[in-house]
Structure 1
Amino acid sequence: MIKLIVGHKGSGKTKTMIQMANDAVKTSNGNVVCVEKGIQLNYDLNYQIRLVDIDQYGVNEYNALLGFLCGLMAGNYDITDIFVDATFKICGKDPEKFADMVERLYKLTSANGLTVVFTVSCEPEEVPERIRKYQI
């Protein structure tokens, strides 16, 4: 399952994602992972959530992010939830390439019940029509 938290800068996307991640770790029968640029969320997230600083892995475009997320899934079958903060800061603001990645990732997540949540800094109407169904 894919979920998109969309809104302009300062609209509370990260706060919503933090709450969702902390709630997920309470009910998960596996592992919860949060991917972010830097480690600003270290004290906001439950200690049981695996925090990954994407900058340490040189990921800066959508194919690399997809490969990274697939690697996480392949390396740990117990992951139930992945949260990705500041997607456009990681890969650049390219809604069409983001949509391509989301569609490819959806096929993987729907096969194994994994939930991936992205925060996306843009107006809701900037999200390509084909992935608007994932907005929450």
Structure 2
Amino acid sequence: MVTLIVGKKGSGKTKKLIERANEAVKTSDGNVVVIEKGLKLTYDISHQARLVDSDSYSISGLDALAGFISGICAGNYDVTDIFVDSTLKIIGQDMKALEELIERMNKLSKEANVNIVLLVSADKSELPEGIESLASQI
């Protein structure tokens, strides 16, 4: 399942991501991974979650992010939850790319049995119409 945390800057998206990631750590029987752009969540996310800085691995663009997340799932069969902070900063401010990412993550989520949460810094009105049918929103 793919879930979006959507809102403009300053709307509390990161706080929701932190709360959901820390809750997943408490309830998960496997591993929780949080992908962020830059090291800003180090002290907010439980040390039991795997915190990954996308900049450290030169992740930039839709294909790079989708491949990276797929690789995490392929290499670790016990990953139950993946959280991605700053999704649009990583893939670029392209709503069509976001739509394609969500489609690809839906497929991966079903195949790998993993929950994927994407944080999107945009107003709900800026999202393409098809996104509502692809992912649930918080």
Q: Structure 2 length as normaliser, TM-score?
A: 0.95
Q: Spell out, residue by residue over 1:33-92, the C-alpha distance to the aligned partner (whole angstroms, 9 max, x if none).
A: 000011110000111000000001111101110000000000101000000001111121
Residue number in structure 2 paired with 1:84: 84
1:22 is paired with a residue whose SS is: helix
Residue number in structure 1 paired with 2:130: 130
CA contact (8 A) 2:73 2:112 kept: no
Residue number in structure 2 paired with 1:39: 39
Where in structure 2 are the equivalents of 1:84-103 lying within 5 Å? 84-103=84-103
CA contact (8 A) 2:91 2:97 kept: no
Residue number in structure 1 paired with 2:108: 108
Residue number in structure 2 paired with 1:63: 63
Please tell me the residue identity of whatever aligns with 1:99: E
1:77 is paired with a residue whose SS is: coil
Question: 1-side partners of 2:60 and 2:112: how far apart?
Answer: 26
Question: 1-side partners of 2:71 and 2:110: how far apart?
Answer: 17
Equivalenced residue count is: 136
Q: Give the fraction of aligned pairs with identical amino acids, expressed as a percent.
A: 52
Mapped pair 1:19 → 2:19: yes
Extract unaligned runs of 5+ from structure 2: none
Question: 2-side partners of 1:60 and 1:112: how far apart?
Answer: 23
Extract unaligned runs of 5+ from structure 1: none
Residue number in structure 2 paired with 1:4: 4
Please tell me the residue identity of whatever aligns with 2:31: N
Question: 2-side partners of 1:51 and 1:104: how far apart?
Answer: 22
Report the alpha carbon displacement of residue 132 of structure 1 after superposing the two structures with TM. 1.8
Q: Structure 1 length as normaliser, TM-score?
A: 0.96
